[in-house]
Amino acid sequence: MTVVCAAVAAVAWAGSPQATPVRPRPAGTQAAKPLLPDAKLEAAIRAKFAKSKISADHFTVHVQGGVATIEGKTDVIQHKGTATRMAKTAGAAAVNNHVQISDTAKAKAANNLEQGRRRVQVKRGDARSDARSADLPRQVR
């Protein structure tokens, strides 16, 4: 009896129209649709810039098809990356960052690299060679 039921179910399943399985698109094949129209997205990005520390750089923003284009000059290297992140958080699908970094900012960054890290980082396994810790009495349990 079960064999007959299974055969009838297989015939019914084979005769019914099958829905094609939905496969997810690989990432990067198509840009995400922006949630805001271009004019509102551009205004949102400008508002974010105005509220932040990068407002002194006076970046220009243009949005077309959800893609933001940022142009301008800065004396702080980090402001370039900050501008990109702010545009993406405002809702831009993609960002073309054409911000130019000044030569003085590049020289300052190169000087910082030559001097090494500003703060000493001690690895967990390394012994501390700090003079202050040698002067402190040890606690006895």
16 within some domain = no
Return d(Cα 101, Cα 112) in angstroms, integer: 16
126 within some domain = no
pLDDT at 57: 86
Return d(Cα 101, Cα 110) in angstroms, integer: 13
Q: Both tokens of residue 136?
A: 């402190």
Q: Which domain holds residue 112?
A: 34-117
Give the pLDDT confidence of 72-111 residue by residue, as tens digits: 999 999 999 999 999 999 999 999 999 999 999 999 988 8
106 within some domain = yes
Order of strands, sheet of 67-74, starting from the edge strand that comes earlier in the sequence: 60-64, 67-74, 94-101
89 within some domain = yes
What is the CATH classification number for the domain harbouring 60?
3.30.1340.30
6 within some domain = no
Return d(Cα 49, Cα 47) in angstroms, integer: 5
Give the pLDDT confidence of 3-59 residue by residue, as tens digits: 555 555 555 555 555 444 555 655 555 555 557 899 999 999 999 999 998 988 889
First to last CA, the chain: 79
CB 109 within 8 A of CB 84: no
pTM: 0.58
Reported as a pLDDT band with limits 50, 70 and 90, residue 116 is confident
Domain count, the chain: 1
